[in-house]
């Protein structure tokens, strides 16, 4: 009965989001047979929703005039905020783009004319610029499993995946056995999803990339622990060992920085890797659209650099240094 009710609400949402649907389209979206979809349409009619049958070769079903959806009480600013969020958030999770677009269409239809005009004006065209460091979208099932375990305070069993999503086999150098953790916080930062958890294997707080996990829910409850420092955002941003992997770029390079890993991890761009060397030094590996781009990002840390690799990056640093020297000389002459 619960599945039928959820499916009926989804059918109502589909009908409200588009002018007309064919029976085959509705059945495909609902993941059921055409016979079941037709039965769900009759259920809506029994609930006094005017679902109209359109005859002919291009026929189908549409929601008639005068229908009412369950009330949604939002002020103008809230509606606009949701409109922006629906257009900008789905890229981090597989399969949400179509659902978000459908939700936006439904929301737009329900809003008063003045708000609808503002929402239409906020239809965004998303472009990737050179300063974005995107992460691959993750499985919504993993997000749901982790989020549910955080919410219900249930222990999770996790297996660690490779960056390509495969699971190492026993005997592989990178194989690690499944671990049991207490999931406390689900955090989104720099377009990446992180799980802050207490590892029961070695009694240590850790930060995990959710897209690198294969979670399995349990019903074993746990009692919430106090996070070190009591600041989840700082804990994630300053942890250099949070499972980050190098993003795919045309150019990648690295350097040894005279700064602690926790400092560099907080300010390094998404898709870079910070390696702890000692209390005052770390290695940063990152990518960009050019060697000069990498050199410029390294310069933002305002610290001494050594062990710069590869030679092309060294040449780019030298060229930038010459340009900056010219700027300094010209300014001094003035």
pLDDT digits (tens, 9 = 90+) for 238-263: 888 888 888 888 899 999 999 999 99
For the ranges 55-59, 127-131, 185-189, 318-322, the lowest mean pLDDT is seen at 127-131
Task: Please give the backbone phi and psi of residue 113, each rounded to the nearest 5 degrees, phi first.
Answer: -60, -40
pLDDT at 72 over 90: no
Residues of the chain with CATH 1.10.10.10: 2-63
Domain 2-63, second-level architecture: Orthogonal Bundle (1.10)
> Which part of the chain has CATH 3.30.70.250?
251-330
Highest mean pLDDT among 108-117, 238-247, 306-315, 322-331: 306-315
Of 177 and 78, the structure prediction assigns the larger pLDDT to: 177
Return the higher-pLDDT residue of 170 and 17: 170
Residue 234, pLDDT score:
87
Min mean pLDDT across 58-72, 172-186, 201-215, 289-303 is at 58-72
pLDDT number for residue 4: 67
**Is 70's pLDDT higher than 60?**
no
The pLDDT value recorded for residue 135 is 67
Higher pLDDT, 107 or 126: 107
What gap in Å lies between CA 313 and CA 270, rounded to an integer? 20
pLDDT for res 238: 87
Quick check: 199 pLDDT over 90?
A: yes
Sign of CA dihedral 180, 185, 188, 189: negative
Instruction: Specify the pLDDT at position 163.
Output: 80
Q: What is the pLDDT of residues 102-119, one digit of tens each?
A: 888 877 777 777 777 777
Structure confidence at residue 295 (pLDDT) = 95
pLDDT, tens only, 153-193: 999 999 998 888 889 898 888 888 999 999 999 888 877 88
Strands 60-63 and 51-54: antiparallel
Where helices occur in the chain by DSSP H, the ranges are 2-17, 23-30, 34-46, 76-88, 96-110, 113-121, 140-152, 232-237, 261-267, 291-299, 311-333
Share of the chain above pLDDT 90, in %: 34
Fold adopted by 251-330: Alpha-Beta Plaits (3.30.70)
Q: How far apart are CA 286 and CA 178, in angstroms?
A: 30
Q: Answer for the pair 205, 229: CB distance below 8 angstroms, yes or no.
A: no
Instruction: For 113-156, give the DSSP string.
Output: HHHHHHHHHT-------TT------B-HHHHHHHHHHHHHTEEE
Give the model's confidence band at 218: pLDDT under 50 very low, under 70 low, under 90 confident, else very high.
Answer: very high
**Average pLDDT in the chain:** 84
- Tell me the mean pLDDT in the region 217-225: 93
CA distance 36 to 42: 10
Question: What's the predicted TM-score (pTM) here?
Answer: 0.64
In this prediction, residue 66 carries a pLDDT of 58
């Amino acid at each position: 009965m619960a599945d039928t009710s959820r499916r009926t609400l989804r059918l109502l949402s589909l009908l409200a989001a588009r002018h007309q649907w064919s029976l085959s389209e509705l059945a495909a979206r609902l993941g059921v047979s055409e016979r079941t979809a037709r039965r769900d349409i009759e259920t809506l009619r029994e609930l006094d929703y005017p679902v109209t049958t359109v005859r002919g070769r291009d026929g189908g079903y549409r929601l008639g005039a005068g229908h009412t959806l369950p009330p949604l009480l939002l002020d103008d600013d809230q509606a606009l905020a949701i409109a922006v969020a629906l257009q900008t958030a789905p890229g981090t999770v597989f399969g949400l783009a179509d659902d978000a677009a459908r939700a936006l269409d439904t929301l737009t239809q329900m809003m008063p004319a003045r708000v609808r005009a503002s929402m239409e004006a906020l239809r965004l065209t998303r472009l990737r610029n050179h300063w974005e460091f995107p992460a691959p979208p993750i499985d919504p099932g993993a997000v749901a499993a982790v989020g549910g375990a955080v919410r219900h305070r249930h222990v999770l069993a996790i297996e660690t995946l490779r960056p390509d999503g495969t699971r190492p086999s026993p005997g592989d150098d990178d194989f690690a056995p499944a671990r049991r953790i207490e999931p406390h916080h689900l955090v989104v930062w720099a377009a990446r999803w992180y799980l802050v958890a207490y590892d029961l294997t070695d009694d240590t707080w850790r930060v995990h990339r959710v897209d690198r996990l294969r979670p399995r829910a349990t019903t074993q409850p746990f009692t919430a622990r106090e996070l070190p420092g009591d600041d989840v955002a700082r804990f994630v941003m300053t942890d250099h060992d949070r499972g980050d992997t190098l993003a795919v770029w045309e150019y990648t390079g690295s350097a040894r920085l005279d700064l602690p890993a926790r400092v560099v991890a907080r300010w390094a761009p998404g898709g870079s890797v910070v390696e702890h060397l000692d209390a005052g030094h770390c290695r940063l590996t990152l990518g960009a659209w050019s060697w000069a781009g990498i050199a410029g990002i390294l310069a933002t840390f305002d610290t001494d650099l050594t062990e710069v690799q590869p030679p092309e990056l060294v040449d780019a640093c030298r060229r930038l240094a010459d340009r900056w020297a010219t700027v300094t000389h010209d300014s001094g002459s003035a």
